[in-house]
Amino acid sequence: MHDQFGVQEFELKWFQSYLTKQSQVCVVDGHTSLAKEIVCGVPQGSILGPLMFFLYIYDLHEECLKNTTPGMYADDTQIHASSASFSELVTKLNQDLENIVKWLSRNKLQLHTKKTKARFIELSYNLKNKVGNE
């Protein structure tokens, strides 16, 4: 992290102290669980949470997206691609989605398939001239 973002020794130690020895409890129906140490992730609900999450996922687009362009906001990522061929478009999207799933696994994150959607937008010119072209 320090090379990529210019974080020096003092700041790096500060980030390390912020992220280590964190614990959490769960309260359900008035019953509180025992505290459990958090071994990975970014503390949610904190002022630094969004910044820390951004730093955590910063390399996702560089490592994974060879055929698509990302749109990233908080913990939501959209990928965009274009092609004159529908089958080529599907191939591009599937290749980058496979890369994303591998990256997520390496970084202890997961893809929420129930929240994952695909949308195809086609120009009317292409619709009129597509018959017999694929």
Residue 4 inside a domain? The answer is yes
Whether the Cβ atoms of residue 77 and residue 56 lie closer than 8 Å to each other: no
- Mean pLDDT for 100-108 is 90
The DSSP letter of residue 33 is P
Predicted pLDDT at 95? 95
Task: Tell me the one-letter amino acid at 22.
Answer: Q
Residue 50 inside a domain? The answer is no
Backbone angles phi, psi at 28, to 5 degrees: -130, 125
Regarding whether 62 and 41 lie in a shared domain, the answer is no
Residue 112 inside a domain? The answer is yes
How far is the CA of 60 from the CAs of 27, 49, 65, 78, 85, in angstroms?
Answer: 34, 18, 8, 12, 26
Regarding whether 106 and 71 lie in a shared domain, the answer is yes
Residue 67 inside a domain? The answer is yes
Structure-block tokens of residue 132: 């017999």
- Mean pLDDT for 18-28 is 88
Residue 128 inside a domain? The answer is no
Nearest partner of 76 among 43, 50, 41, 105, judged by Cα: 50
- Which residue segment(s) compose the domain that 85 sits in? 58-116
Residue 106 inside a domain? The answer is yes
pTM of the prediction? 0.68
Q: What is the pLDDT of residues 38-67, one digit of tens each?
A: 887 777 777 888 888 888 888 888 889 999
Predicted pLDDT at 126? 56
Percent of the chain with pLDDT strictly greater than 70: 90
Regarding whether 36 and 66 lie in a shared domain, the answer is no
The structural domain count of the chain equals 2
Regarding whether 28 and 65 lie in a shared domain, the answer is no
Predicted pLDDT at 108? 84
Structure-block tokens of residue 64: 């994974």
Residue 131 inside a domain? The answer is no
Cα gap 5→133, rounded to integer Å:
48
Q: Residue 60: CA atoms inside 13 Å, Cβ hemisphere, count?
A: 31
Q: What is the pLDDT of residues 74-93, one digit of tens each?
A: 778 889 998 888 899 999 99
Regarding whether 107 and 65 lie in a shared domain, the answer is yes
